[in-house]
Amino acid sequence: MALVTTKKMFEMAYKNGYAVGAFNVNNMEITQGIAEAIAQEKAPLILQVSRGAREYAKISYLKAIINVVVEENPDIPIAINLDHGDTFETCKQFVEDGFTSVMIDASSKPFEENIKATKQVVDYAHSKGVVVEAELGQLGGIEEDVVGVEDDDISKHLADPNQVEEFVSKTGVDSLAVAIGTSHGAYKFKKEPKLAFDVIEEIQKKLPGFPLVMHGSSSVLKEFKDLINKYGGDMPDAMGVPEEAVSKAAKMGVCKVNIDTDLRMALTAKIRQVFAEKPGEFDPRKYLGPGRDAIREMVRHKLHVLGCAGKAAECL
């Protein structure tokens, strides 16, 4: 099956109370680990590419790897999304490169400017059959070149439910990333995480049936944090979004959940472990391979947390 947009995925996810995992990819091993997991679990898939990934690996390489995933998994619906496009020109380029979804993130701009920037992308992308994600509110933390708000009181920057109807109506956007207290990176929280589920509920009342997106939703799994720290790393205060909170959001109209940090930590943890246990190892296959295996098993686990395992067929 060819690449698809997220439209059918989100319709089924909303109807049946689950979310589709959106996993960021930067190289072959990460992509292979994700692909092996979705093939085993028969889950729909969104692969995401950021501007940083494009600069690191070149879009021609990443797109070729993704094309292999699509060819080898004809029974799995797969969408590819630009994560955090910051300008019309960036989004336009990714549309031209064959992506089926793009995100325009103008959330740092005033509300009216966010509407204007989003509508420009929507008008162009829709003319090419590509869907668009936008964002309201601002997340904290740092991920690649995406820098969130630094205010300790993230509640000041949550999405405003009173803006969502106007925003969606004026832009024609297909899905909406809403700030509900999550954060980018591995250091999401300084104390026990609390997400604003009341914001999701209010938005759903105003936009029933409309798909929402959670960014900054990696859980910073203890297994990998412990391995990184055991083998020379320094991440004692890393803290992510509890998986039970992700599962709850997936039942409340959140149809897409972004996961990146957990992928990086799984790969890094296994590489550190191999280097520590076999200090003479110099064959990349011997340390990237275990990293790929760890990603596969972690993603398989996440697909059950999201509730999308076994849902591939209904999203075709």
Tally of domains within the chain: 1
Residues contacting residue 26 through CB under 8 Å, at least 6 positions apart: 52, 53, 56, 57, 62
232 located within any domain: yes
pLDDT, the chain, mean: 92
In this structure, what token pair is assigned to residue 161?
């439910």
Q: How far is CA 314 from CA 16, 47, 75, in A?
A: 10, 19, 11
105 located within any domain: yes
User: Would you state the pLDDT for residue 149?
Assistant: 45
Q: Give residue 140's pLDDT band: very low, low, confident or very high (50, 70, 90).
A: low
- In degrees rounded to 5, what are phi and psi of residue 198? -65, -30
The residue written with tokens 């799995």 in the block is 76
Length of the chain: 316
| Catalytic one of 75, 83, 105, 151 | 83
pLDDT tens-digit profile of 89-103?
A: 999 999 999 999 999
29 located within any domain: yes
Order the strands of the 140-143 sheet from edge to edge: 146-147, 140-143, 183-184
Q: Which residues partner with 258 through β-bridges?
A: 22
Residue 36 contacts residue 71 (beta carbons within 8 Å): no
Q: Residue 71: how many CB atoms within 10 A of its CB?
A: 10
The residue written with tokens 């959001």 in the block is 249
In this structure, what token pair is assigned to residue 288?
């990237």
pLDDT at 141 over 60: no
Q: Give residue 147's pLDDT band: very low, low, confident or very high (50, 70, 90).
A: very low
Handedness of CA 23, 25, 92, 179 (dihedral sign): positive
1 located within any domain: no
224 located within any domain: yes
pLDDT tens-digit profile of 18-57?
A: 999 999 999 999 999 999 999 999 999 999 999 889 889 9
Mean pLDDT of 152-167: 81
In this structure, what token pair is assigned to residue 257?
């959940």
2 located within any domain: no
Residue 79 contacts residue 9 (beta carbons within 8 Å): yes
pLDDT tens-digit profile of 210-256?
A: 999 998 888 989 999 999 999 999 998 888 899 999 999 999 999 99
21 located within any domain: yes
User: What secondary structure does DSSP assign to the chain, as a single string?
Assistant: -----SHHHHHHHHHHT--EEEEE--SHHHHHHHHHHHHHHT--EEEEEEHHHHHHH-HHHHHHHHHHHHHH-TTS-EEEEEEEE-SHHHHHHHHHTT-SEEEE--TTS-HHHHHHHHHHHHHHHHHTT-EEEEEES--EEEETTEE-B--S-GGGGS--HHHHHHHHHHH--SEEEE-SS-EESSB--SSS----HHHHHHHHHHSTT--EEE-S-----HHHHHHHHHTT---TT-B---HHHHHHHHTTTEEEEEE-HHHHHHHHHHHHHHHHH-TT---HHHHHHHHHHHHHHHHHHHHHHHT-TT-TGGG-
pLDDT at 59 over 70: yes
- Residue-number span of the structural domain to which 46 is assigned: 7-315
Mean pLDDT of 11-21: 98
User: Would you state the pLDDT for residue 303?
Assistant: 98
| 83 has catalytic annotation | yes
Mean pLDDT of 130-143: 78
59 located within any domain: yes
Cα–Cα distance for residue pair 100/96, rounded to 1 Å: 10
- pTM recorded for the entire structure: 0.93
Find the CATH number of the domain harbouring 302: 3.20.20.70
pLDDT tens-digit profile of 283-314?
A: 999 999 999 999 999 999 999 999 999 999 99
User: What secondary structure does DSSP assign to 160-187, as a single string?
Assistant: -HHHHHHHHHHH--SEEEE-SS-EESSB
